[in-house]
Amino acid sequence: MEVDEPITHVPEKETAAMPSVDIMETTAQATRLAQEKLQESVQELTQLMIANAKGKVPMKAFKDNEAKQNLWKTTLLNLNGLGPMLKKEIKVPTNLPVLQLVSDKEINDRHPAFEMIDNFLEMFTIIMHQHHLDLNQHWETCIISSLQHSTTKCSWFKENLMAKGLSWQQAQETIKHQFGGAQTQSYYLEKLNSMESDRHENPVHFVERFSTCLHRAQVEDSVAYGSMLIRGLTKHHRSLVKQIKATHAATDPTYNLSINVAYVARVVPLLYIEDFDNDRNNRATRRATRFNNGSDTN
């Protein structure tokens, strides 16, 4: 089993001729490749151990694997040490967003809170682009400004992101894993349970808001969520709710339709338009009656 060659060696003449930005990009690529190679060698060791349990594996195979792992570990250490030396000093933007979500227990009122971690990452990316900063090179330096309001988040950053040689894509995945998922879902589930339409809100718009919230909660639609939606409509749209239930009761039972969010979202636009048209016709009839009686001043 041959040992892979290191990937950090670049001839001096070529290095001298390469612009600083290219060196940074090459270093980042080399770091990612070294991480992949190290992971491959770890997986290879697992396969060797499985094979050895079934039958004798030559000791040389284990020694070769150990040599490969040591090689890539050393390579990563060298590359991680090289990165800070190549980085140019940059001016960190002062308008970077603060990483705080509406679901956080403590929120700094001086800064906006994001509903989803994706919203924060999108804003961070836009601000970095605004200042012409390469995300793969400078995300680590800049994102500290977004975390420094929270000692907990700073500690997490130090343990999981700092000096790991991660690309921006890899960093985003790590951030999403930490600040998305169950934490975000809990917020949206609580929001669903307490949603009510406003007095003058178009019920179609309310149903759309509820459906969007359900989608962000990343849960499967059900009769339970349909009941929450109906409850949210009842206070200011009681007649519409009666129509929804009557329409469902009149539906052929062979279709086996349940009153979930999807069902309500389908029928409300139809029922509300009909209700609106009927109401408009009734108002027109009343105006005509008043006019005929000589009581309409318009």
pTM of the shown model:
0.46
pLDDT band at 291 (very low <50, low <70, confident <90, very high): very low
Hey, which residues does 114 pair with through a beta bridge?
101
Kindly report, residue by residue over 133-164, the tens digit of the pLDDT.
999 989 999 999 999 999 999 999 999 999 88
Whether pLDDT at 261 is above 50: yes
pLDDT band at 100 (very low <50, low <70, confident <90, very high): very high
CA 15 to chain centre: 39
So what's the pLDDT on residue 13? Answer: 43
pLDDT band at 236 (very low <50, low <70, confident <90, very high): very high
Mean predicted confidence (pLDDT) in 27-56: 83
So what's the pLDDT on residue 56? Answer: 79
So what's the pLDDT on residue 31? Answer: 79
Mean predicted confidence (pLDDT) in 112-118: 89
Kindly report, residue by residue over 265-286, the tens digit of the pLDDT.
999 999 987 555 555 555 444 4
Task: Show me where the domains of the chain are located.
Answer: 12-86, 90-165, 184-292
